[in-house]
A and B are shown apart, each in its own frame.
Chain A
Amino acid sequence: MTGPAGESLAAAERLLSELPPAPAVWCSGLRKRYRRRTAVDGVSFTVGRGEVVGLLGPNGAGKTSVIKILLGLVRPDAGEVLLLGRPAGDPQSRARAGYLPELFRYQPWLTAAEVLRLHVRLSGTAVSAADQRECLAGVGLADRAGDRVGGFSKGMQQRLGLAVALVARPELVVLDEPTSALDPLGRADVRDLLLALKERGVAVLLNSHLIGEVERVCDRVVILDRGRVAASGTLAELLGRRELRLRLEGVRARAEARLAEAGAWTRARDGDPGEVFTVALAADPDPDPGAVPGLVADLVALGVRVHAVEPTRISLEERLLDILRTGSGEEHR
């Protein structure tokens, strides 16, 4: 290609290739009504490349509906979806996406290996038979590859579903309750799988009721409630509030004022000896390491006897319940 037109085209291509890749998931203003019930109401969020994002919320919050809209299984009434940079209306947007549905069922008359082969062919990706076998082995089904899926237990079917989601070299994996049918051992396996995906730079959107799981593997969390995004942000942002529990004796007005300087405090009278004080430290992504020792030194100087100092972190579970109960929509983005 020559001439000014060719040059400008080449320049545009260069510009495009230098752009950062489009996010794995981008959705904006998703809305879905089922008859009179609004299931999804203005949901927007992004999952970056290689990012692991947890989707949390109570039953009926619209998590599965959002996931199905992203994958083109449910038509939204409003809103836009880009999957790996392509609009969701284009089937090719799903070429590099793997999905484990909440309702996982695979053709019972096929063997596990045949199910994987089917999905590899449907995805249009070239995956060698050896790689497919390895994928089955990765979810603990190596010795069941030749068995019909109809004879599988629920847990084994869910493992197969994980293999199906992972087999076609996805750049985005959407897992809807991936451990609902698994025993504790299986859950640990899934956690390891998720960490391995994270290491390989595969983006993951994880819907799970197991908050501990989400807390351990997710970079960011989106909390849905009644079809809306109630809160979203990194774990540090959402759980940034730290608490300090102190067992103190002889706290007077000046010492109380010093505690108030550190943060809002409450007093419980069950300490023995002394009383237990809980101080909520200010949310600060980069906290001052000298804050707690300084507080203790000041309290001692004020004549307070310090029996115990115990820093605590708010768990994601407590934060989630807090958000859902108060309906506080303070969003972190």
Chain B
Amino acid sequence: MTARTVWIVAALTLQEAGRRRVLRSLAVLTLLLLALSAWGFARLDAEFGGLTSGEAKAAGSIVLNLVMFGLSLIAALGTAFLAGPTVAGEIESGSALAVLARPVRRWAVLAGKWLGLVVFGGGFVVVAGFAQFVIVRVTVGYWPPKPLTGLALLALQTTVLLTLGLLLSTAISPMASGIVAVGLFGATWIAGVVGSVGDALGNESMAQVGTVSRMLLPTDGLWRGAMNSFQDPALLLQVGTGVEESPFLSMAPLTVTYLAWTGVWTMLVLTLTALAFGRRDL
């Protein structure tokens, strides 16, 4: 019965995502970004017609990272604003009452919502990301070295953020939980930038800001891992060690330890959410 509940609620969450305006706004934003990037890449090729294949690869690789960052931002916004209302909004409006008075366990309902959101967010990242790869391939002839790993890491990043959004939504109001989740996502990214500047300048305490923030909220770490899979390895060699890390350039792939930590982090936050939701008076 519990597995059934998870399944029913996951399907319901996907149905909700499909029918609410959030999907349409997400689709419009994505199409806009894809169209803009297609135009941009086409111009890149036309303006600098004489690019050597190596230069085209370098340019394509860097601009691809920029656009993928835009996509991951859209995914983050979309899922955070879906995850927020899903618990807090339903408690506030009262629609959780009728559902939770059924013979269901609260954690199963929560797990169903989480699963539905993961499928939705992950699906979005994979579809939109793949469309972007095709655009880059057609316009400048660049294909990332590890597209699947990169997309999987981006999907994982979305998962991490929506898990945080769910936790927040058991404690604070729906809109606030979305805003806080996206705010934290942005703050971690900035902390990551600060950290890489610290790395470049050899300032240890600055570098630690990045490391600590990547542990507290693994979105930025995953983003860097994804970037690494999109970049041309030759480009990294070319850039060498002079620049070190930059917000849109990642020198090293992710370690297995970091991925394991991300898994543990997600399970911890989800367990905390289930505990908070289970104890809450409706």
A residues lining the B interface (CB < 8 Å): 34, 68, 71-75, 91-95, 97, 99-101, 103-107, 109-110, 118-119, 121-124, 161, 164
How many A-B contacts are there with CB distance less than 8 Å? 77
Nearest CB on B from A74, distance (A): 4
Among listed B42-50, B95-103, B168-176, B240-248, interface-contacting one: B95-103
Question: Cβ of B103 and Cβ of A122 under 8 Å apart?
Answer: yes
A109–B94 Cα gap in the complex (Å)? 15
Question: Cβ of B98 and Cβ of A72 under 8 Å apart?
Answer: no
Q: Which residues of A contact B102 (CB under 8 A)?
A: 91, 94, 119, 122-123
Contact of B97 among A93, A101, A119 (CB under 8 A): A101
Q: Which residues of B contact A119 (CB under 8 A)?
A: 98-99, 102
Q: Which residues of B contact A91 (CB under 8 A)?
A: 1, 102-105
A110–B99 Cα gap in the complex (Å)? 14
B residues lining the A interface (CB < 8 Å): 1, 4-5, 8, 12, 15-16, 19-20, 93-95, 97-105, 279, 281-282
Q: Which residues of A contact B104 (CB under 8 A)?
A: 91, 122
Question: Given A75-B281, A107-B16, A122-B5, do A161 and B103 touch, yes or no (CB 8 Å)?
Answer: no
A75–B104 Cα gap in the complex (Å)? 16
Question: Given A68-B282, A103-B94, A122-B5, do A109 and B101 touch, yes or no (CB 8 Å)?
Answer: no
Question: Cβ of A121 and Cβ of B8 under 8 Å apart?
Answer: yes
Nearest CB on B from A213, distance (A): 22
Give B19's nearest chain A residue, CB to CB.
A109
Question: Cβ of B1 and Cβ of A94 under 8 Å apart?
Answer: no
Nearest CB on B from A25, distance (A): 14
Q: Which residues of B contact A93 (CB under 8 A)?
A: 103
Q: Which residues of B contact A94 (CB under 8 A)?
A: 101-103
Question: Given A109-B20, A124-B103, do A74 and B8 touch, yes or no (CB 8 Å)?
Answer: no
Contact of A73 among B20, B279, B281 (CB under 8 A): B281
Question: Cβ of A104 and Cβ of B98 under 8 Å apart?
Answer: yes
Q: Which residues of B contact A71 (CB under 8 A)?
A: 101
Nearest CB on A from B107, distance (A): 11
Question: Cβ of A164 and Cβ of B103 under 8 Å apart?
Answer: no
Q: List 8 A-B contacts (CB under 8 A).
A: A73-B101, A75-B281, A95-B103, A107-B12, A109-B16, A118-B8, A122-B99, A161-B98
Question: Given A74-B281, A124-B1, A124-B4, do A103 and B97 touch, yes or no (CB 8 Å)?
Answer: yes
Q: Which residues of B contact A72 (CB under 8 A)?
A: 100-101
A68–B100 Cα gap in the complex (Å)? 11
A101–B95 Cα gap in the complex (Å)? 9
For B5, B15, B97, which residue has the most chain A Cβ atoms within 10 angstroms?
A: B97
A75–B4 Cα gap in the complex (Å)? 25
A123–B97 Cα gap in the complex (Å)? 14
Question: Cβ of B97 and Cβ of A73 under 8 Å apart?
Answer: yes
Nearest CB on B from A112, distance (A): 13
A68–B16 Cα gap in the complex (Å)? 26
Q: Which residues of B contact A107 (CB under 8 A)?
A: 12, 16, 95
Question: Cβ of B98 and Cβ of A99 under 8 Å apart?
Answer: yes
Question: Cβ of B103 and Cβ of A75 under 8 Å apart?
Answer: no
